[in-house]
Amino acid sequence: MNYNCFQIKVPATSANLGSGFDTLGIALNIYNKFTVQILKENRLIFEGIDKKYANPDNLFYRSFLEVFKSLNLEPPGIKVIENNEIPFGKGLGSSATQIIAGLIAGNIICNNILTKENILNLATKIEGHPDNVAPALYGNLTTSMVLEHETINMVNKVNPIFNFSILIPDFDMPTGEARKILPKHFDTKDIVYNISHALITYESLIEGNIDNLSKALGDKLHQPYRFKYIDDYPKFEKIFKEHHAIGSYLSGAGPSIVFITEKNNITSRKQIKENIQKNFKHWQYRDLQIDKNGTTKKFLTSTVAS
Residue 219 binding ligand HSE, by CB under 6 A:
no
- At residue 50, φ and ψ (nearest 5 deg) are -60, 140
In terms of Cα–Cα distance, which of 205, 219, 292 is closest to 257? 219
The half-sphere exposure of 35 on its side-chain side, counting CA atoms within 13 A, is 14
Site for ligand HSE in 29-68 (CB under 6 A): none
Instruction: Please calculate the CA angle 101-162-245 and round it to the nearest 5 degrees.
Output: 115
Residue 256 binding ligand HSE, by CB under 6 A:
no
Q: Are 220 and 193 in contact (CB under 8 A)?
A: yes
For ligand HSE (CB under 6 A), the number of binding residues is 14
How far is residue 209 CA from its own chain's centroid? 24
Distance, CA of 102 to CA of 113 (rounded, Å): 15
Count of residues making up the chain = 306
Q: What is the closest distance, in whole angstroms, from the C-beta atom of residue 159 to ligand HSE in the complex?
A: 23
Single-letter amino acid code for the residue at 146: V
Select the residue interacting with ligand HSE from 15, 81, 101, 119 (CB under 6 A).
Answer: 15
Cβ closer to ligand HSE: 46 or 233? Answer: 233
Select the residue interacting with ligand HSE from 132, 163, 201, 256 (CB under 6 A).
Answer: 132
Single-letter amino acid code for the residue at 53: Y
Max CA distance (Å), the chain: 61
Single-letter amino acid code for the residue at 70: S
Cβ closer to ligand HSE: 12 or 36? Answer: 12
Q: What is the closest distance, in whole angstroms, from the C-beta atom of residue 188 to ligand HSE in the complex?
A: 21
Binding mask 152-191 for ligand HSE (x = CB under 6 A): -----------------------x--xx------------
Residue 16 binding ligand HSE, by CB under 6 A:
yes
Site for ligand HSE in 91-110 (CB under 6 A): 91
| Chain residues in the site for ligand HSE (CB under 6 A) | 15-16, 21-22, 91, 129, 131-132, 175, 178-179, 222, 252-253
